[in-house]
């Protein structure tokens, strides 16, 4: 379970595994980037060969799923904290 304060912006990141994220309260803006399988630097997707494939606003009850090749950038929206529940797989050991 994670909470983000209003005004916070998470830097682009990947978990190098699959994941599911559900919004419990608040509102969250997501940018989702596809990262080629051999790329190992997800800190600046705009400077690499990543491809922005989706932007979306998540509200309470909304869920997203992503794979090991997904990079995302999270920006809470509004004036109240955003609370989310995440479930992630084990990081891949073969890369
Ligand atoms: Fe994240």
- What spacing in Å lies between the alpha carbon of 93 and ligand 1's midpoint? 19
- Looking at residue 68, its pLDDT comes to 85
Q: Where are the domains of the chain?
A: 2-36+49-88
Per-residue pLDDT reduced to its tens digit, 23-82:
999 999 999 988 765 555 555 655 566 788 899 999 999 999 998 888 889 999 999 999
- pLDDT tier, 3 (very low <50, low <70, confident <90, very high otherwise): very high
Three-state secondary structure along the chain?
CEEECCCCCCCCECCCCCEEEEEEECEEEEEEEECCCCCCCCCCHHHCCCEEEEEEEECCCCEEEECCCEEEEEEEECCCCEEEEEEECCCCCCC
Q: How far is the CA of 94 from the centre of ligand 1 (A)?
A: 22
Instruction: Give the pLDDT score at 56.
Output: 95
Q: Of 66, 32, 69, 72, whose CA–CA distance to 52 is shortest?
A: 32
> Ligand 1 centre from 86 Cα, in Å?
9
CATH level 2 (architecture), domain 2-36+49-88: Sandwich (2.60)
């Amino acid at each position: 379970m994670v909470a983000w304060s209003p005004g916070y912006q998470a830097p682009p990141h990947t978990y190098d595994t699959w994941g599911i994220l559900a919004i419990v309260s608040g509102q969250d803006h997501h940018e989702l980037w596809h990262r080629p399988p051999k790329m190992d630097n997800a800190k600046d997707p705009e400077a690499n060969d990543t491809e922005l494939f989706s932007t979306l606003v998540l509200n309470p009850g909304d869920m997203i799923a992503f794979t090991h090749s997904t990079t995302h950038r999270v920006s809470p929206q509004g004036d109240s904290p955003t609370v989310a529940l995440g479930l992630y797989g084990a990081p891949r050991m073969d890369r």
